Structure 1
């Protein structure tokens, strides 16, 4: 039987914690526990450090009986990367080697279920499982439907909405749904509209261009056909750890419990239900921890911040702040339409007045819920910072619609490791092969098949390709324009290697020569830095404040955070005003729990200083209650 002792924990403290740092009793209890259990952790409680400590201790005890391993799943790549970075100090790490698995939930589903399912049932390779790639191809396919039918469809559904709602049923073979209804219940099966939409969905699927939902359809199909998959996966993994469990969708939860047998696998779900801010159409909490272990003491922020935010959530958990951090009372900056432009400079001055610019950590951010300009003039993030442009957190996609876009994406790649850039260039070459309908044994080429084919002809070809790619990456990083060079390589050497003297298609010529695919603004990678630089006129001290959405800063730690009041069906601070007064009522419906969760994530980012930007209309008549709740009020 595997056991974690206090001696094991002592040995890992020196690796993970600052000099002299110790795990508290509640952390030790969580680390030692290897049974199936839920773990509820408040912001800044050290849950990720605690999880990594447990993983590194278990890693030392590998191999387990019957060569079983550890499976770690999280909601985003940010979580995966943090685990990788913070566990990299271990020499000869086994955690990222077979039989272990560390990834996002989506990648796990793709690897073990969706991709094998597609290969088995459709005898072809998946092209992409990517919501952005799927969306772009969906939009282009929709534009091919005759205009009069498109207009009628768009009267009920805009194209983005249609893209998200047109899906195969999870358990019913071949049935297409439009939202919660079968497509045949929305449009008659004899109608042209029905047939156009059915053909669109089937065509994308048959090309291997899959949405995330398609991956789950394939996963369920595979499990139904091969129920023994559950036993195989459960026999491989002794432990399953799911981080950020609050952001896991009901669909993901149901599938994971169908894949992992809790009688064979110890399953530990870790998260904070108060921070569930990702898509939840029902408004209900999907993860409901049962008899959880609790990490309720925050190492991140001061006790004054903990005191003010503890009730601004769905379920209070009596957060305790860090007594070693100086208490700066949270501040409400009250503004109106005529002085809203003073909000960010005032916040900046407060940072300098409290000497926070001299802290070791100097991260100052202003965050809000809504990033888009409101068409009726209500306040959103750009109201405070007019040059703000919403970005998708600088996501780098796997697939683009032109050579120019691939090169632009590579130039924006922040990862110093060239593997990501190399992968994009390989994907670009594979894309050109798809355009020219070049297959192997009737299937699309993968990177592995491409390398095997080149090695089969001549191993020097693989070496030369790698040299080309390495040189191209360096040139792109040095801001050299190599689009003509790569275009010639593709059309004069790469494609002719497979097609011989056959003519190059116009579609490939267009792909190589079009610098940016102009029909979809979101498909272009832009590196927008939304910051202001503030210099104190008396001291000349200078700081930089970044402006972002709450969703984009989830998981971050700031020195000072300003939460900007924005409008989403209602002004968000007005909606949660009673909770800011420490008056907690169990929230009902969808809008209020969602607003509380988003505010809670935003308000729990700072270590030292928390400010709110609040409209005069929101605070009027509530000043005394807010002061009594611990807020200072500053009028602009």
Structure 2
């Protein structure tokens, strides 16, 4: 077998690009030069190590899949493969779905190739084999379950000490192979308290419970002990693609660099992303310092096929690093109506609850019935979950009191069965695809069994539904599980409290007990049905308690459904219309960004060529992501008292239309 140094990259020719374009339904010229702009054609033909800085809507995933199809068609190496790494499961599934559409490119989803998340790559090729080689079982890789298990091992004395020191359960995680590290505050490593937490982390890990990021600890230990593993992986994967590279953490970037790039005979590596869309879980969090994206070998993809130049001109100033954006959208394959003028909704304390109805009414006025049915309409906030009640508005709950933040969190698992169903309905988005409901039901049952202490080998490649069927030992238990799935699907995941208490809850418990024997009382919180924030509700058996974060308008006979979420939850999506809502973190986000909105500022550079502080840069990146989602209509909602009369004139001169939600109050 030839090593990576001898692997010969195929030369991608114009006829290969035309073939891939035809294969993807774009005709022969889908990636051809447009006027003087040949950036997409150059990117798809480039097979050298490079980074591609892609503006929102540039079609980088489409370009990547086209390039992968060409490679699949030309691949002649039975023991070497293409490695495609994504940041999230959603991105991985999107790539997999597109590859599956072609009998040629579907080959990349099988050996010797790999298409998956960075975490799954680390688990499959590094951490899990290394742990098992040392005799350490790997049963559950789930941060919440692992930390809950460790808390259960900790004595009451040390739990009380954690409370007194305001330490969370994350103090029981670690970042070194001796089980030390994690967020243990100011404790010294020699203190009995510190050692007690290390002991339970070790004990839990030794019987197979791990947090997600702890797998990087063991992957790095393997590379320390057996550096030849990196050489073997480069030989196996001579070419590597990384999608959404701007989101890679230091933990991820440093390990990937170590595996594929550091030292001799590196793999060919191409990364795709947009540094202006690098948003993290907190405003102070930074990205990779080892091998940051983009590198000096950078190529721009400035042409957006999502929105027109009007939206491009409105949003490009919010990019921390100002980039040219050519608005070449919206795509004719979507809704055929013309783009609409951007809107600023203004409100005050008394009218914050009217923002979503005003937005929905505007959608009904601007789009036809067919467009409202086929389009995607979203309202998002930078802070979607907060215990604060002042200053108004703090979070999404000021606009919709029944908003459930857990429904849209991609990075964490739901904490109740009801939240699993709510997230599934959110993913369905009103479509008839019931797969999310089946997936959610199976996942919830597995989590309940794991909470009860059952080690169910969560690293199995099978779907949750298939795993449940395989784990159930007799026909009676399988019948109960089938009844549960049928019950949930027949009601499209919308259950009343009486339906849950009447039979559904017992089915869930019966199936989980078949997997875990006995369910302890500690799991009752997982089985609790949610209460809505309403004053008076008619208690009937048929009343549905919606927590799927869909705002339907009009309430009695809905014409449009607006999906509610955080900005993080919609990253990478394209919407017909997007409403960006004001929210609060140290200050109101959009009010802080008013100079950019009014055209007085652009980018993240202060006078004197220094960057703004991390909090301001975080606001810019977050709202740049938010405002670049829509294809046809961009809306923002802000407090009326954020502007004076002159500033409202400037907004109108810059092309914004003003709608006051507080009219008549």
Q: TM-score range by the shorter chain?
A: 0.7 to 0.9
Q: Distance in 1 between matches of 2:366 and 2:439?
A: 41
CA contact (8 A) 1:533 1:542 kept: yes
Shift of 1:409: 10
CA contact (8 A) 2:306 2:328 kept: yes
Matched, 1:565 2:547: no
Q: Distance in 2 between matches of 1:472 and 1:548?
A: 34
Shift of 1:139: 4.2
Determine the structure 2 residue equivalent to 1:269: 271
Structure 2 CA distance for partners of 1:483 and 1:549, relative to 1, 3 Å: closer
Q: Distance in 2 between matches of 1:339 and 1:411?
A: 31
SS at 2:398's partner residue?
helix
CA contact (8 A) 1:238 1:265 kept: yes
Determine the structure 1 residue equivalent to 2:101: 89
The partner residue of 1:309 within 315, 327, 347 is 315
Structure 2 CA distance for partners of 1:469 and 1:409, relative to 1, 3 Å: farther
Q: Distance in 2 between matches of 1:514 and 1:154?
A: 22
After superposition, residues 204-219 of structure 1 pair within 5 angstroms as 204-219=204-219
Structure 2 CA distance for partners of 1:361 and 1:24, relative to 1, 3 Å: farther
Shift of 1:271: 0.4
Q: Distance in 1 between matches of 2:242 and 2:651?
A: 38
After superposition, residues 123-138 of structure 1 pair within 5 angstroms as 123-138=135-150
The partner residue of 1:531 within 550, 553, 557 is 550
Matched, 1:329 2:341: yes
Determine the structure 1 residue equivalent to 2:293: 288
Structure 2 CA distance for partners of 1:445 and 1:597, relative to 1, 3 Å: closer
Determine the structure 1 residue equivalent to 2:364: 352
CA contact (8 A) 1:75 1:248 kept: yes
Matched, 1:554 2:571: yes
SS at 1:568's partner residue?
coil
Shift of 1:614: 0.7
After superposition, residues 187-206 of structure 1 pair within 5 angstroms as 187=188, 189=190, 191-206=191-206
CA shift digits 1:160-203 (9 cap, x unpaired)? xxx33554344xx5261244x8x8x62462x4423332222222
Q: Distance in 1 between matches of 2:378 and 2:401?
A: 16
Q: Distance in 2 between matches of 1:406 and 1:355?
A: 32
The partner residue of 2:352 within 326, 340, 361 is 340
CA contact (8 A) 1:335 1:613 kept: yes
SS at 1:478's partner residue?
helix
The partner residue of 2:75 within 43, 52, 62 is 62
CA contact (8 A) 1:133 1:400 kept: no
CA contact (8 A) 2:131 2:218 kept: yes
Determine the structure 2 residue equivalent to 1:440: none
Determine the structure 2 residue equivalent to 1:174: 178
Shift of 1:107: 0.6
SS at 2:71's partner residue?
helix
Matched, 1:240 2:240: yes
Q: Distance in 2 between matches of 1:407 and 1:99?
A: 34
Determine the structure 1 residue equivalent to 2:162: 153
Structure 2 CA distance for partners of 1:387 and 1:430, relative to 1, 3 Å: closer
The partner residue of 2:388 within 363, 375, 379 is 375
Structure 2 CA distance for partners of 1:483 and 1:11, relative to 1, 3 Å: same
Q: Which runs of 5+ in 2 are unaligned?
A: 1-7, 34-38, 332-337, 429-433, 463-468, 489-502, 531-544, 606-610
Shift of 1:21: 6.5
SS at 2:271's partner residue?
strand
Structure 2 CA distance for partners of 1:473 and 1:85, relative to 1, 3 Å: farther
Determine the structure 2 residue equivalent to 1:456: none
Q: Distance in 2 between matches of 1:340 and 1:421?
A: 33
Determine the structure 2 residue equivalent to 1:613: 637
Determine the structure 2 residue equivalent to 1:501: none
Q: Distance in 1 between matches of 2:55 and 2:375?
A: 23
Shift of 1:374: 3.7
Matched, 1:387 2:402: yes
SS at 2:384's partner residue?
coil
Matched, 1:576 2:576: no
CA contact (8 A) 1:335 1:614 kept: yes
SS at 1:94's partner residue?
helix
Q: Which runs of 5+ in 1 are unaligned?
A: 436-443, 452-460, 496-506
CA contact (8 A) 1:561 1:603 kept: yes
Shift of 1:529: 1.4
CA contact (8 A) 1:145 1:196 kept: no
Shift of 1:551: 1.0
CA shift digits 1:512-544 (9 cap, x unpaired)? 9966646999xxxx982112222499xx98222
CA contact (8 A) 1:249 1:280 kept: no
Q: Distance in 2 between matches of 1:101 and 1:76?
A: 15
SS at 2:214's partner residue?
helix
Q: Mean Cα displacement is larger for which, 247-256 or 356-365?
A: 356-365
CA contact (8 A) 2:379 2:563 kept: yes
The partner residue of 1:477 within 451, 471, 485 is 485
The partner residue of 1:9 within 13, 17, 42 is 17
Determine the structure 1 residue equivalent to 2:616: 592
CA shift digits 1:548-593 (9 cap, x unpaired)? 1111111111111110000011100022222222321414221111
Shift of 1:316: 1.6
CA contact (8 A) 1:244 1:272 kept: yes
CA contact (8 A) 1:425 1:469 kept: no
Shift of 1:388: 1.5
Determine the structure 2 residue equivalent to 1:503: none
SS at 2:406's partner residue?
coil
Structure 2 CA distance for partners of 1:166 and 1:601, relative to 1, 3 Å: same
SS at 1:176's partner residue?
coil
Q: Distance in 2 between matches of 1:519 and 1:205?
A: 29
Shift of 1:430: 8.4
Determine the structure 1 residue equivalent to 2:125: 112
